[in-house]
Copies of this chain bind each other. A is one copy, B any other.
Amino acid sequence: MLKKILMLMIVVNGLIISQALKSPDGRLEFDFMMSKGGIPYYTLKLDKEYVIKESALGIMIKDDPGFIDELAIVSTQNSNFDETWQPVLGEQKEIRNNYNQFTVTLQNIDTKKEMSIVFRLFNDGLGFRYEFPKMENQRYFTIMGEKTEFRLTGDHKTFWIPGDFDSNEYPYMTSKLSEVDAEKGQGFFEISTRRIIAHNAVQTPLMMKSDNGVYINIFEAAVTNYPVMHLLVDKSEFSLKTAFAPDAVGNIAYMQAPCSTPWRTIIVSKKAENILTSRMVLNLNEPSKISDVSWIKGQKYVGIWWELHVNKSSWNYSDINNIKLGEIDWSKVKPNGRHGATTERTKYYIDFAAKNGFAGVLVEGWNVGWEDWFGNWKENVFDFVTPYPDFDVKELQRYAASKGVKLIMHHETSASATNYERRLDEAFRFMKDNGYDAVKTGYVGRIIPRGEMHDGQWMVSHYFRVAEKAAQYKIMVNSHESSRPTGQSRTWPNWISAEAARGNEFNGWSRGNPPEHETILPFTRIMGGGMDYTPGIFQTKMDYYTTGSKFQVHTTLVKQLALYVTMYSPLQMAADLPENYERFPDAFQFIKDVAVDWDDTEVLSAEPGDYLLIARKAKGINEWFIGGITDENEREMEIAFDFLPKGTSFTAKFYMDGDGASWDENPMLYKIETKTVTSESKIKVKLARSGGVAISIK
């Protein structure tokens, strides 16, 4: 059998091609090769041009030769697949999952252990993973790294953040691959917990553009029970190698066969728009493990949150410090008079939510422990069930229910995952007993178990444990400071959203997010799933709260509206204070109107780092919403409404930057115009510097 296969092989560049595969549309071509030394390689071409040159594959295993070289092909298999499935919540109602598959089973000629590599070639890119069958001598093993390479064809333009095992909250840098310098970011005072891997390390999704206009996105899918993949850039060869967070004792991943790695993904297109409409990452995840999904609902929410970030109120109830959980009689503690999460203030938000049609109210700082929650690498910070004395859980449950609003729970873990796990059952029971059905989790700080990191195998498994247990309780999860999503919302649709990138709050108290930030996130972070970016900040300059403050949101007010369309998330916050929305009720109308779950999405035009224009149709109803944003440059956009049904006229409400508006000068100037549009309409709109346009169509 082995011989027969070998006879069919063709030798190219000293490598023996054993298999060529084409995408369903024929434009992508994948080749699998073996070197004479038994090392597996692959290439990827688009329209006959290389995207990935001969790149090695392989897995390093502890105390074992692993699967690096001296490998022989045992068997190969070809198949194809075509299905259409419906996500519970999503950017489109139906998703097609169509690929040609090639599986090669390799054997280490010394150990006789086997590993398969499965390649799936879609029209939008390539996904592949390593699979390990259970064998008598292959049951439990420890992966120490991957030989996986992505050898690029040139010094591409790259949108990157530093490779860091503990934080993904960096602003993006745009540079040539050869100019990547992760440690340039070391001075970022606003990122408290970081573990930059190396000067040449970058995170994934890594978005690139070649000189000849090919967009390449390297990422991964279905990262469960495995550390997050980071990349090391060879700046002269333009090749990328993998890096993974080691655990407390230096190992990468504990495996039990049969098992597999996550999928490595390469999404490629000559059009930037197609990168954003790729559903490859979702397709490479498993179908839902939750059978009854009726309780999982997209929603908009408000909450006691931004007022904490602008220092109008505080998470902590008092100014004591040195809390020992369970040892303080809170009724005797002197309040600091600035506590945000009071019963009264929460009712104010509930009233506002009820009046404006928001389903949820998030309250941060409701539970004891915030006085010295940060920076002590302390295990028992929060118990998730004890409210401060001025937060009446039962009364608020009653009040919210009477208004048809749901409170959203907040579980800041302070990155003490051991503490959270041991209290999780009790915390979730407390939620259900008190009418909560969604939780925002947080992982700020150094991880406990000590020695573990946010992006390591143990923590990745932790996030899934939380999602799975939440599903048992019918609780939706919105994780912050977790590792970034890799399409797992297909499998665990109750993991409804995540932050896992630099969110809007950085604009409140740091140098913030540069104007191009939101034009890059959909090409990077959001490739893996919805992001709880918390848009909608109308009061963009912070000197409104603090005299002399230089902090500000780096967009216009209208761009904040457009983000509800451009930043996909089935869970969207109206993040500003109710008081500020009441100052601008006409602009606020867009946030009230905009949908969060969609029948269809069209990316009308896009260029990472520059601009985005996206139109989406609300799920189940004839309403469309358009968001357009630009970077630091003003820009004219022509919007073609040909996504609308033909032959019907619609009323479109245009929310546009006011004349003379820009992110730094007059950011809150806007104008609203109502126009009639048909599928024939083409309308030009001017966007201010870091401005936007938002359109609702009924």
Contacts and interface: CB of A to CB of B under 8 A. Distances in A.
Contact of A139 (B134, B322, B424, B452): B322
Interface in A444-496: 449-452, 458, 465
Contacts of A401: none
Nearest to A422: B421
A375 to B, nearest CB: 8
Interface string A407-435: 00000000000100110111000000000
B372 A139 contact: yes
A509 interface: no
Contact of A421 (B247, B249, B418, B452): B418
Nearest to A372: B139
Among A247, A378, A450, A458, max chain B CB count under 10 A is at A450
Nearest to A429: B425
A309 to B, nearest CB: 25
A254 B322 contact: no
Contacts of A377: 140, 254
Contacts of A451: 247-249, 449-451
A192 interface: no
A324 interface: yes
Nearest to A259: B324
Contacts of A425: 425-426
Nearest to A424: B422
Contacts of A249: 248, 450-451
A379 B451 CA distance: 16
A674 interface: no
A257 interface: yes
Nearest to A446: B249
Nearest to A469: B422
Contacts of A426: 425
Contacts of A458: 449-450
B465 A422 contact: yes
B421 A134 contact: no
Contacts of A322: 134, 139-140, 256-257
A651 interface: no
A249 B449 CA distance: 10
A376 B421 contact: no
B452 A254 contact: no
A472 to B, nearest CB: 11
A349 B376 CA distance: 52
A321 interface: yes
A450 B140 contact: no
Interface string A362-388: 000000000010001111000000000
A597 to B, nearest CB: 32
Interface in A107-145: 134, 139-140
A266 to B, nearest CB: 31
A71 B350 CA distance: 58
Nearest to A461: B379
13 contacts: A139-B322, A140-B322, A248-B248, A254-B379, A256-B322, A256-B376, A257-B322, A421-B421, A421-B422, A422-B422, A422-B424, A422-B465, A450-B451
List the 6 closest pairs (A to B, CB-CB), nearest first: A248-B451, A449-B449, A248-B248, A140-B376, A421-B422, A425-B425
Given A254-B378, A449-B450, 17 more contacts: A134-B322, A247-B450, A248-B249, A248-B451, A248-B452, A249-B451, A254-B377, A254-B379, A257-B322, A418-B418, A418-B421, A422-B422, A422-B424, A425-B425, A449-B458, A450-B458, A451-B451
